[in-house]
Amino acid sequence: NAPATFQAVMDRMFRPYIDRFVVCYLDDILVYSKTREEHLEHLKLVLEVLRREQMFAKRAKCFWAQPQVEYLGHIVSATGVKMDPRKVAVVRDWPAPQNLQELRKFLGLTNYFRKFIKQYSVLAAPLTNLTRKGAFISLESWTSECQQAFEELKPIVADDVTLVFPDHSLPREQELLAVIHALKEWRCYLEGRPFTLKTDHKPLTFLQSVPTLNRRQARWMEFLARFDCVWEHIAGRINIADALSRHPSLHAAILAAPVL
């Protein structure tokens, strides 16, 4: 399989840099950086790999230091990721499918961009149900419900939606999420018996007395109600579980790092 073999070669070549500042899909190499200076250094490393492996990049197909790029049907920029308008513009005038093959083509296109569409599976359900064996026998199988779903889905797919990157300055719920994840993993041992939940995140100990909760927190509290647990706060400095993240050598490395 030539594409798979070539992808394996590219993964081997750029393994030290993939997901650090390189994304590679076959012969499409995307280099991303936070600053111009950092980007020049990253480009140098990538070009050195290509030279060492005797791979050649066509100058006409290379774009350098771009604020946004087109990549695999998406527009990627510092603000986030959105669908390539040229790819989805044709959806607005897409004719109603006349057979199963045409329906699968339409769903194949919309499914590729499903992460941009809220409740995609619900909206497309009448159409996906038609892809089952024996469901789309003739045009009579295309009901008014299918037509309505088709017409509702087209403008939503063609809409200009951007998936923004997370804002790490906003408050997080990761401490509680970690507890929920741990309880799900060890539920078979914890359900039906009392235990103590120890945390160095003090606000969690007051969780049950919070007057208002958002919907996600309410679902988590409903899950926690299954357990007979007591919350106990322990200071972070004496929390043995934090030992690895507080290793002296790591602190020394951080303190020794130059301030830019």
pLDDT digits (tens, 9 = 90+) for 10-32: 999 999 999 899 999 998 999 99
CATH, residue 140? 3.30.70.270
Of 113, 132, 164, the residue that ends a domain is 164
- Per-residue pLDDT of 152-168, as tens digits, reads 998 888 888 888 887 76
| pLDDT band (50, 70, 90) for residue 6 | very high
- Per-residue pLDDT of 86-136, as tens digits, reads 888 888 888 988 888 998 999 998 888 888 888 899 999 999 988 888 777
Residues 181 and 238 in one domain: yes
Q: CB neighbours (10 Å) of residue 239? A: 14
Residues 150 and 211 in one domain: no
| pLDDT band (50, 70, 90) for residue 260 | very low
Residues 102 and 54 in one domain: no
Is 191 within a domain? Answer: yes
Q: What is the pTM of this model?
A: 0.56
Instruction: State the burial class of residue 46 (Cβ atoms within 10 Å of its Cβ: 0-12, 13-18, 19+).
Output: buried
Residues 149 and 209 in one domain: no
Give Cβ neighbours of residue 52 (< 8 Å, ≥ 6 apart). Answer: none
Residues 180 and 229 in one domain: yes
Q: How high is the pLDDT of residue 255?
A: 47
Is 255 within a domain? Answer: no
Q: Degrees (nearest 5) of the Cα angle 244, 38, 21? A: 60
Is 117 within a domain? Answer: yes
Q: How high is the pLDDT of residue 257?
A: 47
Give Cβ neighbours of residue 106 (< 8 Å, ≥ 6 apart). Answer: 94, 97, 127, 150
Is 257 within a domain? Answer: no
Is 28 within a domain? Answer: yes
For residues 194 and 228, the answer to whether their CB atoms sit within 8 Å is yes
Is 242 within a domain? Answer: yes
Is the pLDDT assigned to residue 253 strictly greater than 80? no
Is 260 within a domain? Answer: no
Q: Both tokens of residue 75? A: 């527009």
Euclidean distance between CA atoms 238 and 235, whole angstroms: 6
Of 65, 99, 115, the residue that ends a domain is 65
Euclidean distance between CA atoms 56 and 35, whole angstroms: 26
Euclidean distance between CA atoms 202 and 158, whole angstroms: 46
Residues 142 and 179 in one domain: no
Question: b/e per residue, 194-232, with b = 16+ CB within 10 A?
Answer: eeebebeeeebeebeeeeeeeeeeeebeeebeebebebe
| Identity of the amino acid at 201 | H
Q: How high is the pLDDT of residue 163?
A: 87
Is 208 within a domain? Answer: yes
Q: Both tokens of residue 70? A: 């087109």
Of 65, 94, 115, the residue that ends a domain is 65
For residues 80 and 163, the answer to whether their CB atoms sit within 8 Å is yes
Domain count, the chain: 3
Q: How high is the pLDDT of residue 241?
A: 60
Euclidean distance between CA atoms 62 and 39, whole angstroms: 15
Residues 144 and 181 in one domain: no
Query: Which residue range(s) make up the domain with 218?
Result: 174-248
Residue 63: what are its φ and ψ, rounded to 5°? -130, 130
Q: Tell me which of 7 and 212 has the higher pLDDT.
A: 7
